[in-house]
Structure 1
Amino acid sequence: MQAIEISVNYDFICPWCWIGHLKLASGIREANLPVPVSIQYVPFELNPTMPADGMDRREYRTAKFGSWVRSQGMDAQVAAAGVAAGAPFNYDKVTRTPNTRLAHQLMQFAMSSGDAQKTAALYQAIFTAYFSEGRDIGRLETLVAIAAANGFDATAAQEYLTQGRGVAKVEEAERLAERQGIRSVPTVFIAGEAISGAQPPAVFTAALRAALERSAA
């Protein structure tokens, strides 16, 4: 049976990408398809010029949104949406806004393994590490530890990242996103049909069933 192709444009500092990921997973379960799905994780850097070691989150968010109070209000809205989706946000633990390039490279490493289950687990684990545990996912040591905790070889992951492997694929994916007109994430493509934002599971379920009908026709 031919799998239904799904691609997810995301960034690890995007809270709605984590929420959208969980809603997509719920939509896949609800669709109960007779064919498998194949998910590709497509990098999209919201802050491509972020310093390599990141920035103090309060400083960054205050500059971006005009005040720390406004940022905290937005965080509270996200956290409430996260509760409903099953994503526990603990913003009191998040002290830095990281550069996510290395994390995107790590996902390239994971996808190159061909193990979809471990790759999906790593994707979830990176979001959890940042938003729930407040870990700095811009740091090599943090990412290698997360990879190892999810069944990947730590030495291989570290070599991949320190050698700059995966960078070309990340940059190629971002150029494609620009050509496709993607300006925000999450953006999910289900069999070529775009869905923007962290939509309810029912939206993804309907899109998956429609893709199945098109493939059958």
Structure 2
Amino acid sequence: MDQAQPVGRIDVISDAICPWCYIGKRQLERALDLLASKHCAVTVAWHPFQLNPEMPPEGVERKQYRIAKFGSLERSQQLDQRITETAATVGLEFHLDRITRTPNTVNAHRLIRLAGQKGVQDGVVEALFEGYFCNGADIGDTQVLATIGAEGGLDRDAVLAMLAGDEGRKEVLAGDQMARNAGIQGVPSFALQGHVLFSGAVPAEEMAQSFTRAWEILKNRAA
């Protein structure tokens, strides 16, 4: 059997309340399958970005927030419908009408960071996205985050203990700032070996081609 050839580390810069990040995760999973079929092995790590860095810790009521952001409830609903339809094309069933609050996501990012340390990051990221976009969970709430963390493979009490203190907060905020310093303005953004390649939930085939080309360029530079 052919051995998988390492393609290195893919870094995903995202926010837990970004619908395109969930759609992008599905496209990435398909891209990883394509890479695997070519015997290319990768690791994936998720990194923080806040779409709303000025969001108060308790979050805000979603309907009024989106009216203020997009100008009208009708416009907000039109955007939600477009996103829901796009999500369905990759097998996701969004129920954005179930979301009542737009949360501050620092604690969600702290949860993702903990999951990375424990080797269950993909499961926790998936549970966060599903909880928010499909079930309307308030992922700014500590108890909700503990439940989601447990669903993703973490110990619930360990999550509660982490969130009760400041563990990971400084690192999450530093990671968010690092992304901005690198010129990232929108998410999801994807990097290979620390080199940002593209942003957006692009089709899986396009992703796989970008990662493969970038790896060849980096390999040639190192030769």
TM-score (structure 2 length as normaliser): 0.91
1:140 corresponds to which residue? Answer: 142
Q: How does 1:20-31 map to 2 (within 5 A)?
A: 20-31=24-35
Report how far residue 209 of structure 1 moved. Answer: 2.0
Matches within 5 A, 1:28-43: 28-32=32-36, 33-43=38-48
Give the aligned residue type for 2:96.
Y
- CA distance in structure 1 between the aligned counterparts of 2:41 and 2:171, rounded to whole angstroms: 25
Deviates further, 28-37 or 121-130: 28-37
Unaligned runs of 5+ in 1: none
Matches within 5 A, 1:19-168: 19-32=23-36, 33-113=38-118, 115=119, 118-168=120-170
Q: Please state whether the residue corresponding to 2:51 is helix, strand or coil.
A: coil
Aligned residues: 214
**Corresponding residue SS for 1:85:** coil
Deviation per residue, 1:124-167 (Å, 9 max, x gap):
11000001000100000000011112221111111111111111
Cα contact 1:4–1:36 (8 A) shared by 2: yes
The CA distance in 1 between the partners of 2:7 and 2:212, in whole Å, is 13
1:164-199 deviations in Å (ceiling 9; x for gaps): 111111111112112111111111112324211111
Match of 1:186 among 165, 185, 188: 188
Give the letter for the 1:190 counterpart.
L
Is 1:196 equivalent to 2:199 in the alignment? yes
- What amino acid is aligned across from residue 25 of structure 1 in structure 2? E
The aligned amino acid for 1:175 is Q
Q: How does 1:7-26 map to 2 (within 5 A)?
A: 7-26=11-30
> Which amino acid is the alignment partner of residue 138 of structure 1?
G
State how far apart, in whole Å, the 2-side matches of 1:216 and 1:49 are. Answer: 40
Instruction: Give secondary structure in 2 for the equivalent of 1:52.
Output: coil
C-alpha distance in 1 between matches for 2:73 and 2:213 = 43
Offset, 1:204: 0.9
In 2, the alpha carbon distance for the partners of 1:151 and 1:171 equals 24
Partner of 1:182: helix, strand, or coil?
coil
Instruction: For residue 214 of structure 1, report the CA deviation from its aligned partner.
Output: 3.9
Q: Is the 8 A contact 2:58 2:103 kept in 1?
A: yes
Q: Cα deviation per residue 1:44-97 (whole Å; 9 max; x = unaligned)?
A: 001111121111110000000100100000000000000001221101211111
Judge conservation of contact 1:190–1:207 (CA < 8 Å) in 2: no
Instruction: Measure the CA separation in 2 of the matches of 1:108 and 1:79.
Output: 28
Q: Distance in 1 between matches of 2:213 and 2:92?
A: 28
2-side partners of 1:46 and 1:127: how far apart? 15
CA RMSD after TM alignment: 1.5
Report the secondary structure of 2:28's partner residue: helix
